[in-house]
Amino acid sequence: MSKVIGIDLGTTNSCVSVFERGESKVIPNKEGKNTTPSVVAFTDKGEILVGDVAKRQAVTNPEKTIYSIKRIMGLMSNEKNAEEAKARLPYHVVDRNGACAVEIAGKVYTPQEISAKILIKLKEDAEAYLGESVTDAVITVPAYFNDSQRKATKEAGTIAGLNVLRIINEPTAAALAYGLDKKEAEKILVYDLGGGTFDVTVLETGDNIVEVLATGGNAFLGGDDFDNKIIDWLVSEFKNETGIDLKGDIMALQRLKEAAENAKKELSSAQETEINLPFITADATGPKHLVKKLTRAKFEGMIDSLVGETITKINEVIKDAGLSKSDIKEVVMVGGSTRVPLVQEEVKKAFGKELNKSVNPDEVVAIGAAIQGAVIKGDVKDVLLLDVTPLSLGIETLGGVMTKIIEKGTTIPTKKSQVFSTAEDNQSAVTIMVLQGEREFARDNKSLGNFNLEGIPAAPRGVPQIEVEFDIDANGILTVSAKDKATGKAQNITISGSSGLSEDEINSMVKDAELHKEEDKKRKDAVEARNQADALVHQTEKSMSELGEKVPAEDRSNIEAALNDLKEVLKDENSSKEQIDAKVEALSKASHKLAEAMYKKDENAGANGGNNKKDDDVIDAEVE
């Protein structure tokens, strides 16, 4: 049986591991290193370079050297982070069908294609080490990667010739690598700060089970941002001293990036470092040199707010898990950026306990991915991973309400369905609008996509039964289907890469939901009251028409008066739930005689109408 490799496809560096002879081992690359820079370069000779060799020539070839491609993986061109990427990256970030891509020498490449070149190198390194062909892989992603980012990562694997068995979350993989599933039941927190992404996840582990309780993060926060703070400082200092702005000099920026990264690493062990870049640029007076001393204290002042963001996120995620910090038995540090002393100090201060740094933070995720690969293949028994979906999922129903089908924090994979009906008589089609978020109304949530179910047979409103099913697989990728239960006609949509969430949207969704909780509830109550009142008006008018002269004149007059009063209230969009309920009660009282007349009309009417009766399981909120 062929082996499964575990891949940590990182923003800055990538790592590959394999499970053999009862343990997970990191596979060194052909250069003898355990990690490979996530860098791809295109040379003037038409060569494609990957890894260390690509990184070494970046200074002389900045516009054709692609790094940090993970930052635009699954990113739409109109998102805020796309503009930042364009400003920061020396290569050309362009639009391709609404999504971010890169242009090299007139040719456009998707992030999936660039990432695939990194994956191909990792695959080839693994094959050289193992002496056999490799196709099966488990690839990790940040826990807060949205659907489009996960899908793009899986596509990159496919382009690289890999059979991606599973996309798993980095913190979950890290928990496996630490062997935390083997310990007694306890709650742990994984703090994962990489080159371009940040995740914090609370898990319950023990008895061979790793269960995610809550997760949060920022898909655009990592060591790259620490580097950028140093770059901004150097650019500002140099401009103050010389009047020259280096931001427009692509080659100078590439040198600054390299110097900033090295300075950051040196400051993890030293209190001061010197940044010396001779001949950084030139003007009419001659060449210019950049020489600056940077202390650890100065650097920590630059990044203090970024580290503070991660501490805030820790508090939010612990709250989401329904826990307090005292419930956390172990804090596991993952990702190369956790080597920064300030990061360790702040996390330690937040919990008041020592941190678990026993496994190399650059390798731990790949090690865990290989273990998960062995679990899938059956080489490791009795280990169960239970991950969760970070936000609720649902559809828009009558009145613009967001009807949740899968709640936030639901363990995946999962499949859930509800039955809905039509909003109008003889409605032949419905539009299913798929939403993600925590607000009560559709317009306040993220639209993931929509599709139509057509060919519904003519029938009174409320009679057709349309089953809507949400299916999230173990990779966290969503498929939505709708089926007319009478005809069997069905339609479905796999949420495409163009419908992902930015981290700002995700973070604000949860906050907005809390902020507008009471307001949303009042609006939702009013909409539900309006829907029920509208249904009562429809049923009353239908019954009056069917009974005709069998309704006594006095009763008919009272019913019509109450009916008109309710219609008037419904015409006013600002009518409150209380106003609507009062008119509904009045019409219900007036209609009591109508019910008696209906019963006397035909004892068999109930049986004849029973064929069209809605099931108890049908949701009253109808689909438009």
Amino acid at 92: H
Q: How far apart are the first and last CA of the chain?
A: 52
| C-beta of residue 34 within 8 angstroms of C-beta of residue 28 | yes
Beta bridge partners of 385: 210
Kindly report the CA angle at 149 between 430 and 13, in degrees rounded to 5? 175
Give residues with Cβ within 8 angstroms of 314, minimum separation 6: 189, 191, 200, 347, 350
| C-beta of residue 17 within 8 angstroms of C-beta of residue 25 | yes
Distance from C-alpha of 267 to C-alpha of 277, rounded to nearest angstrom: 18
Give residues with Cβ within 8 angstroms of 554, minimum separation 6: none
Q: What φ, ψ does residue 281 adopt, rounded to 5°?
A: -165, -175
Unique residue bearing structure tokens 């039941």: 185
Amino acid at 217: G
* Cα atoms in the Cβ-side hemisphere of radius 13 Å centred on 561: 9
Give the DSSP H/E element, type plus range, for residue 141: strand 136-141
Tell me if the bond preceding 413 is cis, omega within 30° of 0.
yes
Unique residue bearing structure tokens 């099931």: 615
Q: What φ, ψ does residue 576 adopt, rounded to 5°?
A: -80, 170
Beta bridge partners of 470: 416, 480
Kindly report the CA angle at 574 between 569 and 579, in degrees rounded to 5? 45
Q: Which residues are catalytic?
A: 8, 70, 170, 192
| C-beta of residue 4 within 8 angstroms of C-beta of residue 380 | no
List, in sequence order, every beta strand (DSSP E) within 488-592: 490-494
For the record, the structure tokens of 590 come out as: 């007036």
List, in sequence order, every beta strand (DSSP E) within 179-311: 186-193, 198-206, 209-218, 272-283, 286-295
List, in sequence order, every beta strand (DSSP E) within 390-526: 393-397, 401-406, 411-412, 414-420, 429-436, 446-454, 466-472, 478-484, 490-494
Give the DSSP H/E element, type plus range, for residue 107: strand 107-109
